[in-house]
Structure 1
Amino acid sequence: MKLTKGKIASLGLQHVLAMYAGAVVVPMIVGAGIGLTNAQLTYLISIDILMCGIASILQVWRNKFTGIGLPVVLGCTFTAVGPMISIGNNYGITSIYGAILISGLLVVLLAKFFSKMIILFPPVVTGSVVTIIGITLIPTAMNDLAGGTDNSEFGSLTNLGLGFGTLLIILLIFRFGKGFIQSIAILLGIVVGTVIASFFEMVDLSTVAESSWFHIPTLFHYGTPKFHIVPILTMVLVAIVSLVESTGVYFALGDICDKKLTDKNLERGYRAEGIAILLGGLFNSFPYTTFSQNVGLVQLSGVRSKKVIYTAGVMLIMLGLVPKIGALTLIIPKAVLGGAMVAMFGMVIAYGIKMLSKVDFSSQENLLIVACAIGMGLGVTTVPEIFTSLPNSLRPITESGIVVGSLTAIILNVIFNFRKKPMQQMTNEPDKEVA
């Protein structure tokens, strides 16, 4: 497909719409949790969107120092929500950003060390991690499809009809559309779904009317950062958890783009993520990590061009500078987004299964690794209260099904396969007989 400027813009907008709701909900939850005023919350949302754009461009732009060089979109990590609220309430908002700054700096400095851990990510691990990422996100998609858990009409026929209707529209476009039309099936489905929702008075334009036209980001907007050991250790742990999640996304995109990742690629990717976290601390936004829904979008659209992500990054920066335009994306009903997310997150699962097809499943050890990893990831997602009796310091690890499942896969692979086939694990290649 020849990508004209118009097509690149449409594909970029599709990526923005795919990640926007997830990017906005984090500042809304954190802002409410630490008692920010409406004016402070407005800044937090706007600066977050702007930083998502900058972080994504940093990651896509590959150079000698930073950038994974894959069509990856970055957004604020959900792993940081609980810790940030806890730090804000116990130590103050400025301590949040002091901790974020230190964690970002450590990621930058230790990127080379983290990249050497590629030996821990053979196909049995990466395939399991990507599958877990998709599976654990499906409940979010289904909740949104039903209208959102905070909606008094959750599960109503209107919301269900709109959510499944949006999914049906996407499937029909993908089935009967050709070329470019097929590649923007998600975007078209969201647009058509929102138009239909407007006839049911489910589109609220008041947020657009109340938003300002322009704002300027300021350094240390909420005050000079403060540094306390407990918040710093907490946010360092959050950063490490984010790197584990990002590693799965890197390998998924590398597979989609037919690019074999080396430790140097991972080093640049981790370093870019560290710089994004540093910028989040400087401008009082959030730690940033890769967004999985955009991986599904790359696979669905079949477009792997980095120009599309550059365009999405520029759009996010513009949305962050002009809150009124950014507010337009907030009028999309959750049911519509949920219907689109089912397709996107489902594709993440499907791609994880495809990655697992490279694994030698005649090995009982590999079967057990995949079984326990996915079982733990899904188990913690569906029963999140299982680890509530553990210390709060472990919450960033135990609250995420993605992290628990990923760590399970990594640890079991080391136990069963590391000593058994060390050279094979280093090359991240499947057994010769199944290659």
Structure 2
Amino acid sequence: MSSELIDQQSVDAVPPLPRLSALAFQHVLTMYAGAITVPLLIASSLHLSAADTAFLVSADLFACGLVTLIQCLGIGPVGARLPVIMGVTFVGVMPAIAIASQPDLGLRGVYGAAIAAGLMVLLFVPLIGRLRGVLTPTVTGTAMLLIGLSLIGVAIDWAAGGTGAADYGSLRHLGLAALTIATILLVTRFGSPFLSNCAILIGMMFGYGVAAAMGDVNFADVQSASGIELVTPFHFGMPIFDPAAIASMMVVLMVTLVESSGMLTMLGDIVGRPLTARDLSRGLRADCMGAVVGGLFNSFPYTSYAQNIALVSLTGVRSRFVCAGAALFMIALAALPKLSAIVAAMPPSVLGGAALVLFGMVSATGIRSLAAAGLDKSREELLIVAISLSVGLIPTLSDKFFAQLPAALSPFTHSGVLLGIVTAIALNLLLRNGRDRTQISNQTGGVSHAVLPVTIAGDDRRLA
């Protein structure tokens, strides 16, 4: 079929190559800051070498591209065939760090857990509608708030120069972090809508440039990096399949599936192709396969990125082939180790400034979800949040609280996010009957404490 016969605003339209390339690169710029932050965060937490850090960045870009192709173009019953950019999910960051911190697991344990969990959670895709009843906005909002709060501590250390820095907290580091934040705010306030979407990336680039001019960037690893190198599977060794690690990653994926169902439903409405149950299942299967692809290629689980969905709405360009073009750009960038080495050489203070904004936005997203859950009208919902937050912050505030428990439970006990999610799910199930009775009482004339009906279909939760 010729391009003239296809509506250029349709999902299946193929724009002319020059226009497609420009629009595709726009998507790459929009998601790049969020994509590179996760591998940098995990590498920093695990104290990986500069070379391994650069490889994680390359692996992440490669897997981003591959999973985006699967989601946009589809393979049989997998892929929503919508203009989606897939990026590594922040939900899995702290669980991945908890797993990798175990001496007998390391990153290989993370990859084994991602592969196994992705394949196993595939079985639950047809039941995602029922999971929404368990993973309510109260549960997922609590999870997002815990994720943000857990990550902000890391961002603070980065902004001060990085853990172990001889001049930790010096005015030089704090000034670079503040400059990065100020740039982000100025671009957000005065930039065009597209520039505002890229504000964090622009802030990082400006801060990086100033740091380089001050002599605070070490380019030794950039010079020694090879020109072109392909990302290969099992770079860190064969995966380790630990039952506790797999269980923890399954929880992560189930939360991600519920969030993704809302994101994909919203995108379908934006592009004028409302999703059927079959379409949604194909999209969620791509999320599961994203975890498998991430595990195979030394990366992490993936989900759709909200800022790119916002870009689709902003530009009005609905073609899924534009996002497929962005995927090819990411795969090409992944083959350039020098680029990844440049990213890995970013001064911690610059990264910390951007991360304070990024992780703060994750926390704020959780707060927004909790506000929509009607906490002021339900004692039960308030109890869920109160107890889940308290339990979820235990590993952050006390690293010895669970010291006497079996080591096999470490992937759970060292991850406040998982503890908080599991606690919230359990309390949601426990208090459901009491909440239903309250709602029935209110409907028959009692004082109004009913939970407001909330849908997550339009809830833009993935800001990073």
CA shift digits 1:5-28 (9 cap, x unpaired): 546524522422333142145467
- 1:231-286 Cα shifts (integer Å, max 9, x gaps): 34244224213214524653774698697999867754553233233334544x24
Give 1:212 shift.
0.8
The one-letter amino acid of 1:18's match is: G
Q: CA separation in 2, counterparts of 1:172 and 1:56?
A: 31
1:19 alignment partner AA = A
CA distance in 1, matches of 2:85, 2:415: 25
CA distance in 2, matches of 1:388, 1:371: 24
Question: What is the 5 A alignment of 1:314-329?
Answer: 314-329=328-343
Which of 398, 403, 412 is the matching residue for 2:427?
412
* Within-5 A mapping of 1:65-76: 65-67=77-79, 71-74=85-88
Aligned residue for 1:189, secondary structure, equals helix
SS in 2 for 1:409: helix
The DSSP-based 3-state class of the residue aligned with 1:385 is coil
In the alignment, structure 1 residue 18 sits paired with structure 2 residue 28:
no
Alignment-derived partner of residue 65 in structure 2: 53
Tell me how far apart the structure 1 counterparts of residues 47 and 348 of structure 2 sit (CA, whole Å). 20
Aligned counterpart in structure 2 of residue 242 of structure 1, from 248, 252, 270: 252
Q: Aligned partners of 1:405 and 1:333: how far apart in 2? A: 32
Residue 377 (structure 1) aligns with = 392
The C-alpha deviation readout for 1:335-374, integer Å capped at 9, x for no partner, is: 1121112222222222222222222322211111122222
Contact 1:74/1:289 (CA < 8 Å) preserved in 2? yes
Q: Is 1:366 aligned with 2:381?
A: yes
Alignment-derived partner of residue 144 in structure 1: 158
Match of 1:421, SS state, is helix
User: Deviations for 1:369-399, whole angstroms, at most 9, x for unmatched residues?
Assistant: 1222223223432323322221122111221
Distance 1:100 1:357 in 2: 32
Q: Does 1:169 align with 2:183?
A: yes
Q: Aligned residues, how many?
A: 415
Find the counterpart in structure 2 of residue 120 from structure 1.
134
Deviations 1:45-97 (A, max 9, x none): 644442233234435667773346655412694423453564xx658998886
Q: For residue 108 of structure 1, report the CA deviation from its aligned partner.
A: 2.9
The aligned counterpart of 2:445 is none
Which blocks of at least 5 consecutive residues in structure 2 are unaligned?
Answer: 1-8, 10-18, 440-449, 456-464
Listed as ranges, the gaps of 5+ residues in structure 1 are none
Change (3 A) 1:421 1:250: farther
Structure 1 counterpart of 2:356: 342
**Aligned pair partner of 1:278 in 272, 287, 292:** 292
Seq. identity, %: 29
1:300, 1:142 → 2: CA distance?
30
- Is the Cα contact below 8 Å between 1:11 and 1:184 reproduced in 2? no
Cα deviation code 1:133-192 (max 9, x no counterpart): 222221122221112214222211111111012111211222222333333222221111
Which residue is equivalent to 1:208? 222
Residue 73 of structure 1 aligns to a residue in which SS? strand
Question: CA contact under 8 A between 2:57 and 2:340: conserved in structure 1?
Answer: no
Q: Which stretch has the larger CA shift, 104-113 or 393-402?
A: 104-113
Q: Which moved more, 1:366-375 or 1:89-98?
A: 89-98
Between the aligned partners of 1:113 and 1:263, the Cα distance in structure 2 is 11
Instruction: State the AA in 2 paired with 1:201.
Output: G
> Alignment partner of 1:384: what SS?
coil
The alpha-carbon distance between structure 1 residues 67 and 430, as it changes in their structure 2 partners (threshold 3 A), is farther
Q: Secondary structure at the match of 2:175?
A: helix
Report the Cα offset of residue 289 of structure 1.
4.0
Identify if the C-alpha distance between structure 1 residues 97 and 207 changes in structure 2 by more than 3 Å, giving closer, same or farther. Answer: same
The CA distance in 1 between the partners of 2:51 and 2:343, in whole Å, is 19
1:353 matched to 2:367? The reply is: yes
Which of 434, 452, 462 is the aligned partner of 1:431?
Answer: 452
Distance 1:53 1:146, change over 3 A: farther
Q: Is the 8 A contact 2:30 2:307 kept in 1?
A: no
Tell me what 1:390 maps to.
405
The residue type paired with residue 22 of structure 1 is V
**Alignment of structure 1 residues 59-98 onto 2, 5 Å:** 59=71, 65-67=77-79, 71-74=85-88, 77-78=92-93, 79-84=95-100, 86=102, 90=104
CA contact (8 A) 2:158 2:351 kept: yes
CA contact (8 A) 1:377 1:401 kept: yes
Whole-angstrom distance in 1 between the partners of 2:313 and 2:172: 32
State the TM-score, normalizing by the size of structure 1: 0.77
**Cα separation, partners in 2 of 1:120 and 1:99, compared to 1, 3 Å:** closer
Which of 301, 304, 313 aligns to 1:288? It is 301
Tell me if the contact between 1:80 and 1:238 (Cα under 8 Å) persists in the aligned partners: no
> For the residues of structure 1 that align with 2:75 and 2:213, how far apart are their CA atoms?
49
Q: Distance in 2 between matches of 1:92 and 1:400?
A: 15
- Pick one of 152, 155, 164 that aligns with 2:169: 155
Distance in 1, Cα, partners of 2:394 & 2:112: 34
